[in-house]
Chain A
């Protein structure tokens, strides 16, 4: 039982980081119907921004944290302007967007390798490493903080989408971009907002990831997992992305903890394929019908 609860805690702590990353994929997918693979690069930059904010500029943690989030917000918007906007204006096929996204992702990774260097770096200790002990259970302080901040920021995001005018516009655009534009909604602004929101959360995810593990140029690779989580939960659905991430985190830890870590990715991918076969839209995905 102790083992079970401890593994559950481990799973939630991974799942909450996946969730922060996954909503970025989901947001962009809901409007533009393609997977923004450059998102991983943006997360990686977030980790570096936070790291340099803390070490080089010696900022207090909260300030470095905000610097990283707003930094990646900016980067995400720049990526959109340079890599996607020209394609949008030319009404390019979706495949081109995906290729452009992959290009942007490789570019960001190599930009960091060339300028900052390929070695990994470690965040200074912001929160004490001693765990909170609940009887035989151990909860890392950082894990708890990550979990709480992730939950708060995801709730804010869902509140923003549900209750604000711009949020409504995003919802409308996710339903049908063209019709939305015909109704007088500035879809360009909607797209920028979506990238900005995704970028902001990517910064948070990057800083947390860096603090929890380490900072290196290939962080973006880990987002494959969050992408799977987003598909699993239903691409385009925010609660779906969160649910998918938490579930994936828990499944992974249980497989690694009770079976063997060799089977972990195997089982994660089998579940992904199974979900897509049985429920192509994911657990909570929106149903998109061909508008013929």
Chain B
């Protein structure tokens, strides 16, 4: 009987120790992204990556911060790809779970509304593939707790426009975009500006709403305008649907897109319709720098990583560097430390500018779809 009592007491003591929090040597890191809905493939991929990396850190004995070894706990929540839900989840991560930093989300529309909560809670967020300028800078002022590891839409739009004009010799272009999505709006705007600046003409500028599955009315109009290229700055599901429908209508123009494209699903769904299309991407999948991560991911989860995994990987790297530099697991200190940090990630060199919180001067890669494969064309930097 005594023994049982003793054991119970021991368990109680251990539990009390864990609940203590203050002296805990576990650092909580939050993640949010879509685990349901259209972009669930990407969300799942990001969360898997983040979990895998922190498990690896833990297995290696943790990370030394300010002279003390810490272990990590990842808390991931589903934001359903929804802006409102992202706000709720951010509140939960900062208020209830008390994470020191958040990784994700991938969608700009979800990352933008998080800023006020992050500022209140003094917790930094490192977005993965959120490319809209407003994620880190609004009205000319940098948001103190928002960071990212990817290039931004003006850059991406400029790259797409420059490549279309200079390399594909396109003189007329049509744009189809998602009017209810910040990302799509941003890309469209900067593509238009840059394509016209180069001397090209935008012959059709058509829009649709998120959730639409039929693009034939808009595409019929585009067909009548007969453009050299069609710029499709939105996500792979709509890309595949609209590409299929464009070919159904007998449109043969070259399709052009942004980093919303790459996904296995694009190939399985778009098939022949997207053959020969080009898109701007964050990296070249055949780059030697990314091979190690690719094979580790495949070994653990039994499938290939999506684009998001690479950027989630670099977001974790940047966070860990920031944490080490800060010297203590405190959101405010980490945010300060992230400014000006310089990390060699697998997607390229990431130098977070203190003025914009963006990785300045990151190269973009142009990929072409050939026989259902993404074939690297060239590194392209817009002037």
- Chain A interface (Cβ within 8 Å of chain B)? 2-3, 6-7, 10-11, 13-14, 113, 117-120, 122, 125, 129, 131, 133, 138, 140, 143, 212-214, 216, 218, 221-222, 252-254, 256-257, 260-262, 264-265
Contact = CB atoms under 8 A, between A and B. Distances in A.
Interface string B262-300: 000100110111000000000000000000000000000
B20 interface: no
Interface string B188-219: 00000000000000000011110111101110
Interface stretch (B82-90, B239-247, B330-338): B239-247
Q: How large is the interface on B (under 10, 10 to 19, 20 to 34, 35 or more residues)?
A: 35 or more
Nearest to B40: A118
B273 A120 contact: no
A290 to B, nearest CB: 39
A3 B249 contact: no
Nearest to A253: B217
Nearest to B42: A119
B269 A214 contact: yes
A261 B271 contact: no
Contacts of B273: 129
Nearest to B270: A122
Contacts of A129: 244, 247-248, 271-273
Contacts of A213: 213-214, 241
Chain B interface main SS type:
helix
Given A138-B248, A253-B216, A262 B209 contact: yes
Contact of B220 (A3, A113, A143, A216): A3
A220 to B, nearest CB: 12
Contact of B221 (A13, A214, A216, A257): A257
B140 interface: no
Given A257-B218, A261-B217, A261-B218, 13 more contacts: A7-B220, A10-B216, A10-B220, A14-B216, A129-B244, A131-B248, A138-B250, A213-B213, A216-B38, A221-B211, A257-B221, A261-B208, A261-B212
Contact of A261 (B179, B244, B249): B179
A138 B219 CA distance: 12
A133 B250 contact: yes
A265 B38 contact: no
B35 A261 contact: no
Between B211, B217, B241, B273, the greatest number of chain A beta carbons within 10 A of the residue's beta carbon is seen for B217
A120 B38 contact: yes
Contact of B213 (A3, A133, A138, A222): A222
Nearest to B214: A14
B1 interface: no
A261 B265 contact: no
A138 B249 CA distance: 5
B241 A214 contact: yes
A62 B218 CA distance: 32
B36 interface: yes
Contacts of A253: 216-217
A125 B209 CA distance: 26
B217 A7 contact: yes
Contacts of A252: 217
Contacts of A119: 40-41, 265
A140 B215 CA distance: 13
Contact of B265 (A14, A120, A140): A120
B209 A265 contact: yes
